[in-house]
Structure 1
C-alpha cells in the first residue's frame, strides 16, 4: 500500500486530484504540488544507572497501553533529537538527563488515533547516578527498573522498541 494512501486531498489547494506520483510521493493534478512523504523523527532512551540497571516505563496510553516501553517520544518542531531526549525523559520520569549518546535508528509505523505515522526512531543511551525519587507521568503509568539480564523484549509493545531492545541487549 502506498504510504500516502490516507491522504485524499492536496494539502496545498484542497483538490481531490491528489494522486500517486511515485513510490514516495503524490502529485496534485489541479495545482501541480508534489508532496514527498518523509518519516517523523522520534527518540527512545536506554537509561542506565551506576549499577547497570535499565529504567523502562509502562505505557499509559494506546497504542500498546500497559506494555513496557523506553522513555521517549516525537521530536518537536525546531528541536534537536538530543533536546527531545531531555524533554521526553523529564516529562515521563522526572529525571534530568545530563548527556546522551546516539546508538542506532529503526524505521517504524506508529498507529496513532487510527492513522499510520511513519517514524524514524532514534535510539539513545543515557546514564543516571540513581533512579530514586522518579515519578511516572505524561505517557508513562509506571517506572520499572530491571537488571539487563532480566529484560524480556516480548514485554515491549511497540515493534521498533522491541527490535531495539533485542539489539541493545545483544550488544551489552
Structure 2
C-alpha cells in the first residue's frame, strides 16, 4: 500500500475530499491544499575506536528488534543533520562527538507503528575521544566494538545500514 493511501482527510481543512494528485502527493478538492509525501531525514553514526573497530548497537525495539544497527535516528524539526547525529549519539551511547564528517546517504524504508516511513539516512564519520562513558541507552539494548574483518552486513536489520556497511567497506572508509 502506498503511504499516501493512509491519509484520508486534508490536514489543512479536514475535508474528506483529499484525493490522489500524483504518485507523491494528494490534493484537497475542498481548499486546494496539496500535500507532498517526502522522505524523513535520519542520521547514522560511524564510530571507530583506536583499534579501528566499529561501534555497533543491538536494537532494543521493533523494527528489527535484536538485530545489529549503528547509532542514529530521526532529525527533529529545526535541527541540522549534524546536530541530530551528535544528539542521537549522546542519547544512545552517552558519548560526545568531537568531530564529524559527512560520508554518504542511503534511502530506507522504516516501519514505525505499522506505518511505513521513507527515510533518507545521512551517514557521518564521528570522532569521539573518550569511550569510557559508553553506555547503551534510549532504544539500544547493547553496544560493542566489532573488528571490521568480523562485520557481517546480513546481521544488520535495516536495509540502509546493511548497504551503508558494504559501501563503507568498499570505499575504504572501514579498513580491514
Q: What is the TM-score normalised by the length of structure 2?
A: 0.93
CA-CA distance at 1:16 after TM superposition: 1.2
Q: Which stretch shifts more, 15-24 or 64-73?
A: 15-24
DSSP-derived class of the 1:38 partner: coil
Q: Does 1:127 align with 2:103?
A: no
Q: TM-score, normalised by structure 1?
A: 0.96
Residue 13 of structure 1: how far off its partner (Å) = 1.0
Q: How does 1:6-25 map to 2 (within 5 A)?
A: 6-25=6-25
Q: Report deviation, 1:164.
A: 0.7
The separation in 1 between residues aligned to 2:168 and 2:106, in whole angstroms, is 12
Q: Which segments of 5 or more consecutive residues in structure 2 lack a partner in the other structure?
A: none
RMSD across aligned positions (CA): 1.2
Q: Give the superposition deviation at 1:3.
A: 3.9
How far the C-alpha of 1:130 sits from its partner, in A, is 4.6
Secondary structure of the residue aligned to 2:4 is: coil
Match of 1:60 in 2: 60
Contact between 2:99 and 2:128, CA under 8 Å: does it hold in 1?
Answer: no
Structure 1 residue 94 and structure 2 residue 82: aligned? no
Gaps of 5+ in 1: none
Residue equivalent to 2:4: 4
For 1:105, what is the secondary structure of its paired residue?
A: strand
Structure 1 Cα separation of the partners of residues 153 and 105 of structure 2: 17
- Number of equivalent positions: 172
